[in-house]
């Protein structure tokens, strides 16, 4: 999976954890993992549900074991795939949370621009929103990935796929200001990563999650996250007329269907705006419109 599909270390860790759970279940059944039958696999899935695991996590676990047994069958380790009749879970497709433009402005204004850390934080928030980066892509950026003259950032997404994303003037301004004070944070540490801690070590995904909570909590934004900025990036583009193919390319989605969820958000936004501002949006049929003559039905 690492070599042939180029999957990320986080994805591989999740798959490994799923298979370890299945291996533990197989030991409890007194058989090897390659000897589990269909019924036992179904019992395992049922046990995951009874343990309180979320439907999304169960669906990922089912996908993991399907891929594993498909590999065993293809390479001749087993003669029959016990997951061949295992049904996929249909998950509800929740609309991702995003910030309004006013909320986003308030969030971006949170860092103290009089400090090196504040300039760094503002640069991070601006860049993720301006380019729709995943948090893993943001922490993986190096200084060489930024072309400030052309306003382009180069990132490597899922499957190590490379994409080039334009960056707006506001983000470029704060990135330049951050780079001016970056040596103050880096000290004598040598790091090629763009964003560093106060200790000079490269920032982690957890660091940026904590940063988001730090600035989002005082604004009452609840569970705001780096992904909230990515969703806001895509949603605001769609609301302002961007086509889904362009947004797909910017986000690095391999499947257009993944991007089209933002079309639903945009449509909901239009419906809400219509019902809020159109003078006859909530008029009961027949009340203020044409009134039928008595007896006419």
Q: Which residues are catalytic?
A: 134, 158, 227, 230, 253, 262
Task: Supply the DSSP symbol for 74.
Answer: H
CA 221 centroid distance within chain: 18
In angstroms, rounded to a whole number, what is the distance separating the alpha carbons of residues 205 and 130?
18
Q: Which of 47, 78, 79 is nearest to 62 (CA)?
A: 47
Q: At what angle do helices 226-239 and 101-108 cross, to 10 degrees?
A: 140
HSE of 254 in the Cβ direction (CA atoms, 13 Å)?
A: 6
- For residues 261 and 96, the answer to whether their CB atoms sit within 8 Å is yes
**Burial of residue 158 (number of CB atoms within 10 Å: 0-12, 13-18, 19+):** middle
- For residues 155 and 162, the answer to whether their CB atoms sit within 8 Å is yes
- For residues 185 and 197, the answer to whether their CB atoms sit within 8 Å is yes
């Amino acid at each position: 999976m690492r070599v042939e599909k180029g999957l990320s270390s986080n994805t591989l860790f999740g798959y490994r954890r799923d298979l370890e759970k299945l291996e533990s279940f197989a030991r409890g059944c007194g058989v090897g993992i390659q000897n589990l039958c269909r019924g036992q696999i179904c019992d395992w899935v049922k046990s995951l549900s009874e343990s309180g695991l979320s439907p999304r996590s169960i669906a990922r676990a089912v996908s993991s074991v399907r891929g594993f047994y498909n590999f065993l069958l293809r390479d001749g380790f087993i003669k029959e795939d016990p997951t061949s009749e295992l049904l996929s879970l249909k998950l509800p497709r929740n609309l991702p949370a995003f910030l309004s433009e006013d909320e986003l402005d308030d969030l971006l204004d949170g860092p103290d621009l009089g400090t090196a850390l504040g300039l760094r934080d503002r640069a991070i928030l601006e860049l993720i929103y301006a380019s729709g980066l995943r948090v893993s892509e943001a922490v993986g950026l190096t200084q060489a990935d930024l072309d400030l003259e052309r306003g382009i950032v180069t990132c490597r997404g899922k499957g190590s796929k490379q994409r080039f994303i334009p960056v707006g003037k506001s983000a470029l301004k704060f990135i330049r200001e951050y780079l001016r004070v970056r040596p103050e944070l880096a000290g004598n540490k040598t790091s090629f990563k763009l964003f560093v801690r106060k200790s000079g070590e490269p920032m982690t995904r957890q660091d940026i999650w904590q940063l988001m909570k730090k600035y989002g909590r005082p604004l009452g934004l609840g569970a705001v996250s780096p992904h909230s900025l990515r969703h806001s990036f895509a949603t605001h583009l769609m609301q302002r007329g961007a086509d889904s193919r362009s947004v797909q390319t910017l986000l690095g989605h391999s499947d257009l269907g993944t991007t089209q969820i933002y079309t639903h958000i945009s449509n909901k936004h239009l419906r809400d705006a219509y019902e809020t501002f159109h003078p006859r949006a909530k008029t009961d049929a027949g009340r203020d419109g044409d009134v039928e003559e008595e007896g006419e039905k």
